[in-house]
Amino acid sequence: MPDSDNMSNSLRGSKFRPEFHFTPARHWMNDPNGLVFLDGEYHLFYQYNPNACKWGNIGWGHAVSRDLIRWTELGEALPATEHGMAFTGSAVVDSKNTSGLGGGDTSAIIAIYTHQATSGGRAVQAQHLAWSIDRGRSWQHYGDNPVLDIGSDAFRDPKVFWHEQSRRWIMAIVLADEHQVQFYSSTNLLQWEYLSSFGPGGNTEGEWECPDLFPLPIEGEPGNRSWVLKVDSTLGSVAGGSGGQYFIGDFDGTRFRAESEATPVDYGGDFYAAMTWSNLPGDRRVWLAWMSNWNYASATPTEPWRGVQSLPRSLKLVKNDSGLCLAQQPVDELKSLRKRHRRLIDIELVTGKPLPLEDSSSKTLELHVQFGVDADALLALRLLRSSGSVTTVNFDAAAGELAVDRRRTAAAPFHADFPARHRGPLRAVEGRVSIRLLLDHSCLEVFGGKGETVISDLLFADGAADGIAIECERGQAVIRQLDLWHLAV
Ligand code: FRU
């Protein structure tokens, strides 16, 4: 496996490859796994097939970064063996050496993941433990695996965290077919006891996968926090196919009680299996997700790799007119990529007269616009324009809606489910709305408001683009402030 720093130019420059989103140099990647921070280093493990650009032979790939943005690929950490594959799981730093697996002064990284074996023609999903005492560079398998096995073929994706109040480890894990998240506890990461179950609830099409449970501070209410339970579904998500939903509520160390409706994590087609980092300093909470969708993941037109992770996003809870909700924003570290900057202030948009942004044809950019709008305004931000093809971001004040339309994004058709318009709720507050978008070749992430509504979509736009144009198509709107940056690693 080539180190990504030494990746040849031909690989780096290959069509559609993003520059500041992580992709493996070669071959297939899906879910992020084992996200953990230790000694200044962020670890990103991921579902990886080292042999092909399609799912299969799955183990954990590994990359590290000191800033969450620039990643170095290290090769496989937990490869598939003749006994089975290493499916999704999580990692923690066992700084109190509760497992007894740490060596002297070194804290062990403990990974707990789903081992999928086949026995008598039937899949068995049991939870295995592996540990590393050299910062994830080499791994040992626990001799008494599995650490948790209920004899199920659909029991997977353990997310483990330290629960300070009850001073023990908690695992969230799904019973995929039953649409349940189960909770287990342990004092040593080796023996696990059943606590409680949550679900079914919200979207119960397909199978549930990849749960995560964490507390988040509430903006503007110092000292107050609530718990967020996130779970993904293989089908039936808001944008079609696979996607995530979250519940806000309370976790008392044993049981999670939802106090909100199920809400989509992201309104786009491509944000799946999100996972938060463990062991981050303070109460910082950051996650990223696989930018794809099981509906068409194996058909996306990239080579010699297939699969990309989203930008890492900071999480908090905010209050708006629909109550408490999750807000996501790209991590601040991303600002280190900002190069040329252009700012526009107080520009009235004239209906029917698009405003082209000079010098905006780059395929790696960040655009942040604060609009003033009347109750009827319909805005269009058109990107990646070239000879008849365009990707459009709309804000409709009357409908209270943010949307991304990739039906006219130039690309050879590769799957019937791909061309689509994705929409999420977004309201102007006191006649103002903020839209921030990050474009990185084939990855577009659009953050509405404070980040309560996010739309993440893959785009495969062939050829050069003419830059961005902004138009008010109905009602009245002004650009109060617009900031455009070219981003470069
Ligand atoms: C989610 C998922 C997980 C599983 C892994 C297998 O995308 O299906 O449930 O552990 O991928 O690669």
pLDDT tens digits, one per residue of 320-365: 888 999 999 999 999 999 999 999 999 999 998 999 999 999 999 9
| Length, in residues, of the chain | 489
The Å distance, Cα 58 to ligand 1 centre, comes to: 10
388 versus 83: the higher-pLDDT residue is: 83
pLDDT reported for residue 227: 98
Q: Pairing mode, if any, of strands 389-396 and 338-349?
A: unpaired
Is ligand 1 within 6 A of the CB of residue 292? no
Q: Residue 92: is its pLDDT beyond 60?
A: yes
Question: Is the separation of the CB atoms in 422 and 269 below 8 Å?
Answer: yes
* Angstrom distance (rounded) from CA 202 to CA 29: 28
Q: Residue 146: is the preceding peptide bond cis (ω within 30°)?
A: yes
* Angstrom distance (rounded) from CA 461 to CA 288: 24
Is ligand 1 within 6 A of the CB of residue 422? no
The DSSP H or E segment spanning 10 is: helix 9-12
pTM for the full predicted model: 0.96
pLDDT reported for residue 67: 98
* Angstrom distance (rounded) from CA 406 to CA 420: 6
pLDDT reported for residue 11: 46
Comparing 66-80, 370-384, 400-414, which segment has the lowest mean pLDDT?
Answer: 400-414
Question: Is the separation of the CB atoms in 58 and 80 below 8 Å?
Answer: yes
Give me the chain's average pLDDT, please.
95
Q: Residue 10: is its pLDDT beyond 70?
A: no
pLDDT reported for residue 207: 98
* Angstrom distance (rounded) from CA 110 to CA 29: 22
Residues 6+ away with beta carbon under 8 Å from 252 = none
The Å distance, Cα 355 to ligand 1 centre, comes to: 44
Provide the CA 120 distance to its chain's centre, in angstroms: 36
Q: What atom in ligand 1 is closest to the CA of residue 242? A: 7
pLDDT reported for residue 115: 98
The Å distance, Cα 292 to ligand 1 centre, comes to: 12
What does the block give as tokens for 279? 């062991």
Smallest CA separation from ligand 1 atom 6, residue: 87
442: confidence class by pLDDT, cuts 50, 70, 90: very high
Burial code (b: 16+ CB inside 10 Å, e: under 16) for 221-257 equals eeeeebbbbbbbbbeebbbbbbbbbbbbbebeeeebe
Burial zone of 181 (CB within 10 Å; 0-12 exposed, 13-18 middle, 19+ buried): buried
Backbone φ/ψ region at 57: left (φ over 0), alpha (ψ -120 to 50), beta: left
Residues 6+ away with beta carbon under 8 Å from 213 = 159, 161, 170, 172, 181, 183, 227, 228, 229, 230, 251, 256
Average pLDDT over residues 156-165: 98
Q: What atom in ligand 1 is closest to the CA of residue 87? A: 10
Task: For tokens 């280093």, name the residue.
Answer: 41
157 is catalytic: no
Average pLDDT over residues 119-143: 95
* Angstrom distance (rounded) from CA 247 to CA 260: 6
Question: Is the separation of the CB atoms in 309 and 442 below 8 Å?
Answer: no
Is ligand 1 within 6 A of the CB of residue 125? no
Q: What atom in ligand 1 is closest to the CA of residue 174? A: 9
12: confidence class by pLDDT, cuts 50, 70, 90: very low
Is ligand 1 within 6 A of the CB of residue 47? yes
Longest Cα–Cα distance of the chain, Å, equals: 70
Q: What atom in ligand 1 is closest to the CA of residue 207? A: 9
Q: Beta-carbon neighbour count of residue 410 at 10 Å?
A: 18
Comparing 85-94, 402-411, 441-450, which segment has the lowest mean pLDDT?
Answer: 402-411
Cα distance from N-terminal residue to C-terminal residue, the chain: 22
Q: Residue 412: is its pLDDT beyond 80?
A: no
Smallest CA separation from ligand 1 atom 9, residue: 209
